[in-house]
């Protein structure tokens, strides 16, 4: 891997200069059902940077906006102070324990949420997520060849693998729009979600970076990474597909649930190693095996806080499991932390830890 890293850094890659951007000169606001909302020109402002609401002749508010050069042409709009977001509370039972560890924000920030719910540190959680997920949404910039669509974000579903530093590797067809976009402008984002759940309470990460084609001498190596993650399926798509890599990661934004929302330090992400069980035991076959054993008992345990119709494990790490819970037509994600004095690293250790969770919960009942 060190040899590969050296080869990748020494390879000559094309430098793409992004097209110049024109700062927005005006803001068009569509009327809503609550009445029209009109934007006044910058020339009619009151000299203040914040937006101000003034009554119009027809009684509808007019937003007077003034551009701020320090904000790259973005026009700030100040919301009514009365429209404050209410904080999300976590219910507790008589013993003081949380009654339902749903993936909803709680007060206290990333560190307290991570500690309270037995979550891995954010950088490690992202590395685990990248190992467990097989598909992601790749958002590239539409190239000039698309005429009126040029410059717009273009989202597409792709499969991916990772190298030892957590940099995504892609197998792309030269005919795909996203491939042509990346060749014209390598800037993109990759949005990765926990497999098995697509709700807004889902853990997900957005990785910002630049994607370039790997040199010919690294194509076979990249193919092996794909086969290791996607097994036989990857070997069937060799054809005219070519391997690309996100060579430069500029930013990482992680939403992990339970109040875990953070920008991840790229260097920390690149140096930390994912949990062994996330790499070896987070695949679909291992999760299928765990669900065959524990889905029913977990459903019974979770039903103590309300009738649960279905419970399915969707991810596992060294500190616990994430469970997709169905109650009627509603779904949510619950977290159960392992109560063991060591990190869980193997599938067998995960089974023992789960047996202990279920036994302890049954004794409490």
pLDDT recorded at residue 240: 80
Q: Which of 243, 273, 303 is the last residue of a domain?
A: 273
Q: Are residues 226 and 127 in the same domain?
A: yes
One DSSP character per residue, 46-88 reads: -S-SS-EEEE-TTS-EEEE----GGGTT----PPPTT-PPPPP
Sign for the pseudo-dihedral over CA of 351, 354, 356, 359? negative
pLDDT at residue 294, as a whole number:
93
pTM: 0.64
Same-domain pairing of 294 and 207: no
pLDDT value for 153 = 96
144 and 168 inside one domain: yes
pLDDT of 237 reads 52
Is 227 domain-assigned? yes
Same domain, 297 and 172: no
Same domain, 111 and 229: yes
Tokens, residue 287? 């999760």
Task: Give the model's pLDDT for residue 75.
Answer: 37
DSSP per-residue codes, 232-254: HHHHTT-TT-EEEEEEEEEEEEE
Is 334 a domain residue? yes
Residue 80 resides in a domain: no
The parent domain of residue 316 ranges over 284-363
Q: What tokens were used for 250? A: 């500029």
Angle in degrees, 0-180, between the axes of helices 347-364 and 284-302, rounded to the nearest 10: 10
Asked whether residue 241 falls in the same domain as residue 183, the answer is: yes
Task: Mark which of 273, 297, 312 sits at the end of a domain.
Answer: 273
Claim to verify: residue 112 and residue 256 sit in the same structural domain = yes
Q: Residue 317: give its domain's CATH number.
A: 3.20.180.10
Domain count within the chain: 2
Residues 180 and 261 in one domain: yes
Looking at the domain assignment, is residue 199 inside a domain? yes
How far is the C-alpha of 165 from the C-alpha of 273, rounded, in Å?
Answer: 8
Query: CATH code at 161?
Result: 2.30.110.10
Domain membership of residue 47 (yes or no) is: no
Largest CA distance in the chain: 72
On whether residue 87 sits in a domain, the answer given is no
Q: Which of 240, 273, 306 is the C-terminal boundary of a domain?
A: 273
Which pLDDT value is given to residue 360?
87
Same domain, residue pair 211 and 303: no
Domain membership of residue 162 (yes or no) is yes
Q: What is the pLDDT along the chain (365 residues), one digit of tens a residue?
A: 444 444 444 443 444 444 444 333 333 334 444 444 334 444 444 444 444 444 444 444 443 434 344 434 433 434 444 444 433 333 344 333 333 334 433 333 444 445 555 678 899 999 999 998 989 999 999 998 888 899 999 999 999 999 999 999 999 999 999 999 999 999 999 999 987 766 676 789 999 999 999 999 999 999 988 888 887 555 455 568 899 999 999 999 999 865 678 999 999 999 999 999 988 876 778 888 999 999 999 998 888 777 889 999 988 999 998 888 888 888 888 888 999 998 999 999 999 999 999 988 877 76
Q: What does DSSP assign to residue 94?
A: T
Residues 308 and 198 in one domain: no
In a domain, 219, yes or no: yes
């Amino acid at each position: 891997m060190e040899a590969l890293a050296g080869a990748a850094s020494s390879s000559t890659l094309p430098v793409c200069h992004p097209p110049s951007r024109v700062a927005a000169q005006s803001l068009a606001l569509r009327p809503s059902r609550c009445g029209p909302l009109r934007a006044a020109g910058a020339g009619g402002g009151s000299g203040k940077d914040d937006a101000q609401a003034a009554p119009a002749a027809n009684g509808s508010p007019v937003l007077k906006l003034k551009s701020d050069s320090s904000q790259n042409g973005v026009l700030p709009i100040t919301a009514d102070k009365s429209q404050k977001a209410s904080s999300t509370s976590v219910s507790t039972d008589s013993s003081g324990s949380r009654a339902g560890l749903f993936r909803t924000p709680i007060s206290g920030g990333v560190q307290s949420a991570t500690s309270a719910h037995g979550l891995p540190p954010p950088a490690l959680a992202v590395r685990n997520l990248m190992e467990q997920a097989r598909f992601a949404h790749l958002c590239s910039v539409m190239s000039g060849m698309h005429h009126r669509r040029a410059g717009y974000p273009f989202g597409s579903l792709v499969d991916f693998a990772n190298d030892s530093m957590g940099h995504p590797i892609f197998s792309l067809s030269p005919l795909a729009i996203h491939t042509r976009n990346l060749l014209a402008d390598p800037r993109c984002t990759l949005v990765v979600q926990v497999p098995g759940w697509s709700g807004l309470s889902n853990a997900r990460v957005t990785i910002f970076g630049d994607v370039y084609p790997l040199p010919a001498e690294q194509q076979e190596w990249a193919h092996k990474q794909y086969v290791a993650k996607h097994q036989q399926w990857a070997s069937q798509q060799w054809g005219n597909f070519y391997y690309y890599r996100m060579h430069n990661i500029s930013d990482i934004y992680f939403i992990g649930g339970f109040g875990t929302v953070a920008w991840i330090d790229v260097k920390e992400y690149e140096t930390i190693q994912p949990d062994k069980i996330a790499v070896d035991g987070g695949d679909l076959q291992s999760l299928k095996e765990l669900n065959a054993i524990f889905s029913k008992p977990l459903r019974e345990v979770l039903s103590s806080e309300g009738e649960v119709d279905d419970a399915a494990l969707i991810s596992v790490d060294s500190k616990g499991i994430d469970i997709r819970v169905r109650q009627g037509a509603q779904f949510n994600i619950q977290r159960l932390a392992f109560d063991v004095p060591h990190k869980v690293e193997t599938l067998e250790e995960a089974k023992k830890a789960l047996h202990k969770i279920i036994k302890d919960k049954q004794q409490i009942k």
